[in-house]
Chain A
C-alpha cells in the first residue's frame, strides 16, 4: 500500500479509521457531534480559551510525548497517527486521576466549564514537564486556558502538588502497550481522504507534497491550523482541498551549526523555542509568549511565516537577525531574504504551487548584540501591539551597522531602513547621539490605530523600545530596565 484513504488514530483505547470526513471537519466537532463525547467543551472556537484542550500522544524522536492542542481549531485529519486523549479518559474506572483528585481537593473548579481543558493541559505538563515543575512553568502551561471564576491560584496549587510527585497513573503503567499501538499507526504512506475535487491529504514525503501541490495549486496548505482553523470556525470558509504538512518525513528537521540555525518549515514552535533561545535569550522569551502551549504544540515556524501576518512574532525577529526563507515549487527551489518575502498586507512573494520549505537564521557574530521586545495588552497569549527586534553590529562602543525590524508597525513585518542608517556611528555611551536614530523611526513607519493600540502609542513605544535596546546593549542593568518576570534574569548576556 503506497497510499491510504483514511484518517487513523487511537480513541478510547482502540484504533479508529475514518474514510469520509469532510476536509474541514474539526476534531472538536467530531468529538462532540459525532461521538457525543461532551466532556471536551467549546468555549470560543477561536483557539484562545483552551476549554477544548485535548492531548495528542505521539512518538517524537523515540519519546512518547503528550501534546495539548485546541480541538476547536484542529482539523480531524491532524489527529492522524496519534492517540487522542480527552478528559473522559483520565479516571481509572471510578477512581479519579490524581490530577482530578487534586483539583477537587484544592477547590480548583467553580463553574467547571474550563476545567476539562485545564485538566488536559496539566495532564500534559504532569507527564512531559521538566522537573522540578515551577509555578512559572504551570502558568506558562496554562497561558492558553482561560478561567473566569477561580483566579487561578487553586488551579496552580493543585498542579504544583501533582507535579511534585512521581507520575503514577494508568497511562504510565500502560506506556509500553500505548507505544506499540501508536507505532502501529505509523505506516509512512501518503494519506488522501476524498477525491481530486475535495480532499484532506497528508503526504508522507516532501517530493509527494511538492508534486501534489503543483497539481493542486488551489489547495490550502495547513501546518498547525492555528489560523486556518479560524477561517473555518469564524470565517465559515469551506476549503475543498487541504494538504496537511504534519506527516512529511524530515519536514520538521532542525539543524544547529556554527553558521546558524536551519529550520525546516514543519518545525513546530515548541520544538523551535529552545533552539531560538540558544540564538538569543530574548528569542526564548518571545517564544515563551508566542500564542499558548496549545498553539505552539500545533503551529510551525513555516506556518508563522507563510501566513504573512503583520503581527506574527517570529518574522521581525528573524528579519533583524538576517534570516532567509527557502521556497520550493515542484522540483525547483529558491531562497530570498525574509524581509523580501513580505510584499504587502497579507501578500507574500509566493507563486501558485510554491511553498515555504526552510528558514535559516545566521548565528550572532561575537561583536553583535541583539534585543527583542514584545508589547501587548496582556503579557501571555496575546497578539503583539508592537514587537521590536534590534540587531546592532558593534565597533567597540559605537554602532557599525544595524538591522532593525518591527511587527505591528506596518502592513507587514518590516525593516526600518532610515533608522538603521541613522544608527551608524551612534555612541552607546552618549545618549545625546541616539536621538537621530530615535527620530528616524517616524520616517520609517506610519502605524495604524486598531483595537490593540493607537497609532500614537505604537510610535511612542517603538521609539522607547529602541531606546531601551540602546540602554541595555550599552550596559544598563537589566533589572532596572525590565519588569521582573521570568525571562529577564537569563536574558542578560
Chain B
C-alpha cells in the first residue's frame, strides 16, 4: 500500500498540541474523581474483609462482633447476593465473595457497610474467621508440576522447528523469567452506587469498561441491564488495571446500596487494592533458537509459560497477544510459539498496558542479545539482519507485514541521531579502563499490532448533539484515564464542524448515552471512538449542509465550515446562527455514530487471519551505567523515535510515549512483586513496591515523533499510541546486559526481569567468577 495522504485542507484543530481538556482542573485540584464527588445525604461506606490464606476452605465465618460494632449498618457475604456471585467477563470463575473455598490471599470474604469508612475498616478486624489452609500452588514451577491450568495450551507456528534448529549452523537455548507488574494507578479502585426507584442503580465507577460494569452489576443484582447506569468521567490512571478489575468494586457498592437502600461508596485502601486486584502476568520463556554465522535466525521455538493466577479473567487475550508479539519485528522462517496458561493460588493476573505483548517481545529481544554475544556481532546488527523485509514479511501467525520499510527507516534514523556507533566505541574504550563502573548501550525496536484480537470488540459508538446556540455535546464509549482520549476526540469533532475546540463540551462516559461499548483498551481508544465521533459529527454536518444548500440555493462545494463560521456561497453566518436556523427548520441536530474496524479477521482454531489492522513502530536507544560491586544501575541517556502516524495531538502523544517508556522501565528495573511462601504479596504498598521517581528518568531524554500518515485509513491517518511505548525500554534492559557482558566478553549469562540491583549484582558475580 503506497503512502497516502487524502486530507486536502490544512488542519485547524487536529494535529495541534492542545493541552489535556482537564489540565486546568487537575492543577487546581478541581477535577473530580470518584471519592471527590459530593456524597448524597446518608451515604454509607464499605470496607472489605479479606482472606489471609492463599488456598483453603472457610470453616467458620463468624461476623457477629462485626455486626455489633457501633456505626455498622450491614455486613454482607455471598449469601446476600440476589443474582450471580460472579464478576468475571465470561468464565464464571471470579466470585464477588469467596463462597466456601478461598483461592488466593486477599480474596474478599465479606464486606462491612458503615456510617464512615474508618468505622467500616476497623470493624473488619472483628471478624472471627477460620480457614482450613491447604498447600497453595504459587509459582510457574508449582503449576507446571501440578499440571494446573486455567485454559488449554495453545500454539501456532510454521515449519518443523526441531528439524530446522537441528540443521542450523549455530544453536542456543535458555530460559528467561519475566516478572509481573502492579498498575499503581494513583487513584485506587473506587465506586459510588446510588439506588434509584424500582430497582434502578446508578454507579459512578472508576473503570475503563463502563459497559461491563453495568452488565456485571445487573447480573449480581439480578436486574436487567437497562436498570443499571454506569458512569465514568475520568480515572486517576488505569493502565489496564480498571478493565476487568473495576467490576468487583462497583458490584460490591451496588450490592450494598441495594441491601441498605442508601448510597454506598467503596474506595479501596491502597494495600487492599494491591492484594485484591490483578496485575501483569509473570512469564517464564523457555526458548531455543537456530541461526547462521551472521546471526540470522533460521528457527525459533519458544514456550511461554504464563502465570494466570486463580481464574481466567483476561488471560486468553493476554497470552494470545504474547504469542502475537513473540517475533516482535523479526522474520522467523521456521517458528513454534507455544503457551501454557497456568493456574496458581495468586490473584488473577489481568490486563496491563501491552497486554502480554511486552513479555513475548522481551523474550525474543533477549534471544537477539544472546545471538549477538554468541556470534560476537553488534546486537543492533543482529537485530537489523532479522527485521521483516520484502520476501520475509510473514508473521508466525500468517499475517503479512505490509510496511516493513517504516521500521527499517525508523531504526536507521535513530541509529544516526543517537550517535549509536560512536557511543558504542567510546563506551568500549571507557569500560576497558574501569573495572567497577561498566557502561552499556542498546538500540531495540518494537512492532505492536493494533486491534483487539477478539474481533467483536473492535466497535465503538459516539453521540453528538449540536444545540441551538451552536455548542456541541460530545459523548462516546471511550473512557478518559489520563491518556487524553477525550481531548483527541473533541479535536476530531471540532475539526469536522470547523469550530473552536472549546465549543465542544466533553461529557462523562455513560452507558445510558452510548450502549454496548468496548473497554478503552488495546490502544484502540482514539482509533475507534475518534472514527465513531467523526461519523456522528459528519452526519449532522451533512444535514446542515443540505439545509444550507436548499435555503441559499448554492451547490454543495460552496458550503464550508471554518473558524466557527459557515461559508455559503457569497454569504456566511456563524455556526451558532446556522444551528439555530436548522432547529427552526426541523433539521435533526443529533446523531449516534457507529464504527467497526474493517479488514481484520482472526480464526483462532485455524490459526490464520489478519488480527491487526496495522502495526505501530518505534525504537529506542538507551545508555546505562552499572556498579558491578553493588548492582546499582543508572540510566544515563535515552533516545526515542516513535511512529504515531499523523498525530491527532503531538503533545498528548509525546506524553504517552515518555510516560509509557518510564512505566516500562519500572517494569524492567525496580518494580518487583514478591510473594512469600504462603502466597502473601509482601510488596503491597509503595514503601516496598518501587515505581520510578523523577530522578530515575535520565536528564538526557530525547523523544521524537515519527510523523508519517498511517498507510491504512485510520482517523486522520493517526496511529494508536497507548501501549506500544511501554516496550521501548527493553533497550534499558538490553543495555544492562551489554554493560554486564563487558566484564567477561565471550560468556553469556541470562538476566531475569526486573533487573533489580540484586539480579544485576548476581549476574555480574556469575560473569566475574567463573
A140's nearest neighbour on chain B, judged by CB, is: B695
Stretch at the interface among B143-151, B541-549, B573-581, B657-665: B657-665
B770 within 8 A of A: no
What is the interface of chain A mostly: helix, strand, loop, or mixed? loop
Stretch at the interface among A5-13, A104-112, A312-320: A104-112
CA distance A227 to B500 in the complex (A): 51
B269 within 8 A of A: yes
Q: Are B236 and A112 in contact, CB atoms less than 8 angstroms apart?
A: yes
Query: Which 5 pairs show the lowest CB-CB distances between chains A and B?
Result: A39-B29, A111-B482, A113-B236, A112-B26, A151-B662
B694 within 8 A of A: yes
Q: Are A150 and B655 in contact, CB atoms less than 8 angstroms apart?
A: yes
Question: Given the interface contacts A43-B270, A151-B662, does A113 sit within 8 Å of B629 by beta carbon?
Answer: no
Q: Are A152 and B685 in contact, CB atoms less than 8 angstroms apart?
A: no
Stretch at the interface among B49-57, B452-460, B605-613, B754-762: B754-762
Q: Are B125 and A236 in contact, CB atoms less than 8 angstroms apart?
A: yes
Stretch at the interface among B514-522, B696-704, B743-751: B696-704
Q: Are A480 and B434 in contact, CB atoms less than 8 angstroms apart?
A: yes
Q: Are A154 and B655 in contact, CB atoms less than 8 angstroms apart?
A: yes
Shortest A482–chain B CB gap in Å is: 7
Chain B residues numbered 20-68 whose CB sits less than 8 Å from any CB in chain A: 20, 22-33, 35-36, 38
Residues from chain A with a CB closer than 8 A to the CB of B699 are 135
B437 within 8 A of A: yes
A265 within 8 A of B: no
Q: Are A112 and B234 in contact, CB atoms less than 8 angstroms apart?
A: yes
Return the contact of B236 from the options A41, A48, A119 (Cβ within 8 A): A41
Residues from chain B with a CB closer than 8 A to the CB of A36 are 38
Shortest A184–chain B CB gap in Å is: 28
Residues from chain A with a CB closer than 8 A to the CB of B663 are 148, 151
Cβ contacts A443-482/B at 8 Å (1 or 0 each) = 0000000111110110011001101100000000000111
B690's nearest neighbour on chain A, judged by CB, is: A378
Q: Are A483 and B20 in contact, CB atoms less than 8 angstroms apart?
A: no
Cβ contacts B658-695/A at 8 Å (1 or 0 each) = 11111100000010101000000011011110111111
Q: Are B27 and A109 in contact, CB atoms less than 8 angstroms apart?
A: yes
Given contacts A100-B28, A113-B186, A461-B761, 20 further A-B contacts (CB under 8 A): A33-B116, A39-B28, A87-B27, A88-B28, A96-B24, A107-B19, A111-B235, A112-B20, A112-B236, A139-B693, A146-B186, A148-B185, A153-B697, A154-B658, A375-B632, A379-B696, A450-B682, A457-B757, A461-B631, A483-B437
A326 within 8 A of B: no
Q: Are A49 and B659 in contact, CB atoms less than 8 angstroms apart?
A: no
Residues from chain A with a CB closer than 8 A to the CB of B709 are none
Residues of B in contact with A, size category: 35 or more
Q: Are B269 and A45 in contact, CB atoms less than 8 angstroms apart?
A: yes
Residues from chain B with a CB closer than 8 A to the CB of A457 are 631, 757-758, 761-762
A426 within 8 A of B: no
CA distance A109 to B651 in the complex (A): 11
B627 within 8 A of A: yes
B239's nearest neighbour on chain A, judged by CB, is: A148
Return the contact of B29 from the options A38, A42, A385 (Cβ within 8 A): A38
Q: Are A383 and B687 in contact, CB atoms less than 8 angstroms apart?
A: yes
B271 within 8 A of A: yes
Return the contact of B237 from the options A48, A119, A148 (Cβ within 8 A): A148
CA distance A96 to B761 in the complex (A): 48
Q: Are B682 and A151 in contact, CB atoms less than 8 angstroms apart?
A: no
Residues from chain B with a CB closer than 8 A to the CB of A373 are 630
CA distance A373 to B185 in the complex (A): 32
Q: Are B235 and A107 in contact, CB atoms less than 8 angstroms apart?
A: no
B484 within 8 A of A: yes
A91 within 8 A of B: yes
B759's nearest neighbour on chain A, judged by CB, is: A457
Residues from chain B with a CB closer than 8 A to the CB of A180 are none
Best-surrounded residue of B630, B661, B662, B756 (most CB of chain A within 10 A): B630
A305 within 8 A of B: no
Q: Are A148 and B691 in contact, CB atoms less than 8 angstroms apart?
A: yes
B343 within 8 A of A: no
Question: Given the interface contacts A107-B651, A464-B630, does A451 sit within 8 Å of B683 by beta carbon?
Answer: yes
Shortest A120–chain B CB gap in Å is: 9
A383's nearest neighbour on chain B, judged by CB, is: B687
We find that the number of chain A residues with CB closer than 8 angstroms to chain B is 91
CB-defined A-B contacts under 8 Å, sample of 30:
A45-B270, A48-B686, A49-B186, A51-B186, A88-B30, A100-B27, A103-B23, A109-B27, A111-B234, A111-B236, A112-B22, A112-B26, A113-B237, A119-B27, A139-B695, A143-B693, A148-B184, A148-B185, A150-B662, A151-B662, A234-B269, A376-B757, A377-B672, A377-B757, A378-B690, A378-B692, A450-B682, A457-B631, A460-B762, A461-B757
Residues from chain B with a CB closer than 8 A to the CB of A32 are 35
Residues from chain A with a CB closer than 8 A to the CB of B686 are 44, 46, 48-49, 146
CA distance A109 to B22 in the complex (A): 9
A78 within 8 A of B: no
A159's nearest neighbour on chain B, judged by CB, is: B694
Shortest B179–chain A CB gap in Å is: 12
Q: Are B629 and A468 in contact, CB atoms less than 8 angstroms apart?
A: yes
Task: Give residues in A with beta carbon < 8 Å to B.
Answer: 29, 32-33, 36, 38-49, 51, 86-88, 90-91, 96, 99-101, 103-105, 107, 109-116, 119, 135-136, 138-140, 142-143, 145-156, 234, 236, 238, 373, 375-383, 385, 450-454, 456-457, 460-461, 464-465, 467-468, 480-485
Shortest A126–chain B CB gap in Å is: 14
B378 within 8 A of A: no
CA distance A105 to B651 in the complex (A): 10
Q: Are B757 and A375 in contact, CB atoms less than 8 angstroms apart?
A: yes
Q: Are B627 and A482 in contact, CB atoms less than 8 angstroms apart?
A: yes
CA distance A136 to B33 in the complex (A): 32
A483's nearest neighbour on chain B, judged by CB, is: B634
Cβ contacts B418-431/A at 8 Å (1 or 0 each) = 00000000000000
Residues from chain A with a CB closer than 8 A to the CB of B239 are 148
Residues from chain A with a CB closer than 8 A to the CB of B340 are none
Q: Are A143 and B695 in contact, CB atoms less than 8 angstroms apart?
A: yes
Residues from chain A with a CB closer than 8 A to the CB of B434 are 480
Residues from chain A with a CB closer than 8 A to the CB of B481 are 111
Q: Are A96 and B655 in contact, CB atoms less than 8 angstroms apart?
A: no
Residues from chain A with a CB closer than 8 A to the CB of B660 are 151
B590 within 8 A of A: no
Residues from chain B with a CB closer than 8 A to the CB of A143 are 693-695
B14 within 8 A of A: no
Residues from chain B with a CB closer than 8 A to the CB of A148 are 183-186, 237, 239, 659, 663, 691
Q: Are A105 and B186 in contact, CB atoms less than 8 angstroms apart?
A: no
Q: Are B632 and A483 in contact, CB atoms less than 8 angstroms apart?
A: yes
Return the contact of B23 from the options A44, A49, A104, A382 (Cβ within 8 A): A104
B636 within 8 A of A: yes
Q: Are B688 and A380 in contact, CB atoms less than 8 angstroms apart?
A: no
Q: Are A87 and B28 in contact, CB atoms less than 8 angstroms apart?
A: yes
Shortest B428–chain A CB gap in Å is: 16
Q: Are A461 and B630 in contact, CB atoms less than 8 angstroms apart?
A: yes
Q: Are B25 and A112 in contact, CB atoms less than 8 angstroms apart?
A: yes
Return the contact of B28 from the options A96, A110, A150, A485 (Cβ within 8 A): A96
Return the contact of B27 from the options A104, A453, A482 (Cβ within 8 A): A104
Residues from chain A with a CB closer than 8 A to the CB of B36 are 38
B255 within 8 A of A: no
Q: Are A150 and B659 in contact, CB atoms less than 8 angstroms apart?
A: yes
CA distance A74 to B187 in the complex (A): 20
Shortest B42–chain A CB gap in Å is: 15
CA distance A153 to B22 in the complex (A): 19
Shortest B379–chain A CB gap in Å is: 23
B663's nearest neighbour on chain A, judged by CB, is: A148
Q: Are B662 and A377 in contact, CB atoms less than 8 angstroms apart?
A: no
B556 within 8 A of A: no
CA distance A148 to B630 in the complex (A): 27
CA distance A81 to B627 in the complex (A): 46
Q: Are B25 and A379 in contact, CB atoms less than 8 angstroms apart?
A: no
Residues from chain A with a CB closer than 8 A to the CB of B184 are 146, 148
Return the contact of B187 from the options A100, A110, A113 (Cβ within 8 A): A113
B121 within 8 A of A: yes
Q: Are B687 and A48 in contact, CB atoms less than 8 angstroms apart?
A: yes
